[in-house]
Amino acid sequence: GNNINVFNTSIWNGSMQNAVDWLVSRVQQHRKTTVAFANANNLNISVNNAALREHYSYADRVFADGSGIKLAGKILNKPVLDNVNGTDMFPLLCKALAKQGAKVYFLGAQKNVIDNMVVQLKQDYPGLKIVGHHHGYIGEGELDNLRVINQINRSNAEILLVAMGTPMQEHWLSKFAHKIQVPVRMSVGGLFDFVAK
């Protein structure tokens, strides 16, 4: 089949191009979609974290991120087709979203990192509609979180990227899933730190 089972998480086995095309079509159709990236570290965390496993199981696609998953595929005799990681996907996704005129919201990383990233992205992808961004240090306060979610919802974003590290970002997306109105939600780990460099 199209999936590989590693530590009870079903990992989607397909190409980067297919992943990007599929995501962009989900954005276009406003289909409620949750995706995550599973690398060896994330799956190790999931072994002792039922909430993270539940998030992966709830997700529409969990992408095969990195060499640890490739090795697992080899051991399971199910070759992993592609290394579908956030760093390689990001420029392809930004280009496709810009072309489509899709509205994107970025949540996560330290304030200076996310601020710098947005400035840089506006230069690199002039067509990209960044409708909002917020740092990832919101804290536990219910009101603080609801304030940020309100801001996200009011932006009318069509895709939300959350970069607060695993498992915090997945817990956050699960906890507030019913309050977030953005159709497509992606958790992307430390991606913004890489992009902002």
Residue ranges binding ligand UDP (CB under 6 A) = 41, 108-110, 136-137, 163-166, 168, 189-190, 192-193
C-alpha to C-alpha distance for 34 and 45, rounded to whole angstroms: 19
| Closer residue to ligand UDP in complex, CB, 24/114 | 114
Q: How far is CA 150 from CA 31, 145, 146, 156, in A?
A: 20, 9, 6, 10
CB of 54 to ligand UDP, least distance (A): 17
CB of 135 to ligand UDP, least distance (A): 6
C-alpha to C-alpha distance for 189 and 170, rounded to whole angstroms: 9
| Closer residue to ligand UDP in complex, CB, 178/197 | 197
CB of 134 to ligand UDP, least distance (A): 10
Asked if 66 contacts 39 with a C-beta cutoff of 8 angstroms, the reply is yes
**Quick one: DSSP state of residue 105?**
E
Q: Please report, in angstroms and rounded to a whole number, the separation of the first and last CA atoms in the chain.
A: 38
C-alpha to C-alpha distance for 92 and 58, rounded to whole angstroms: 25
| Closer residue to ligand UDP in complex, CB, 25/41 | 41
CB of 95 to ligand UDP, least distance (A): 22
Looking at beta carbons, which residue is closest to ligand UDP? Answer: 136
| Closer residue to ligand UDP in complex, CB, 26/135 | 135
CB of 174 to ligand UDP, least distance (A): 15
Asked if 195 contacts 108 with a C-beta cutoff of 8 angstroms, the reply is no
| Closer residue to ligand UDP in complex, CB, 24/86 | 86
In the chain, count of helices (H) and strands (E)?
9, 8
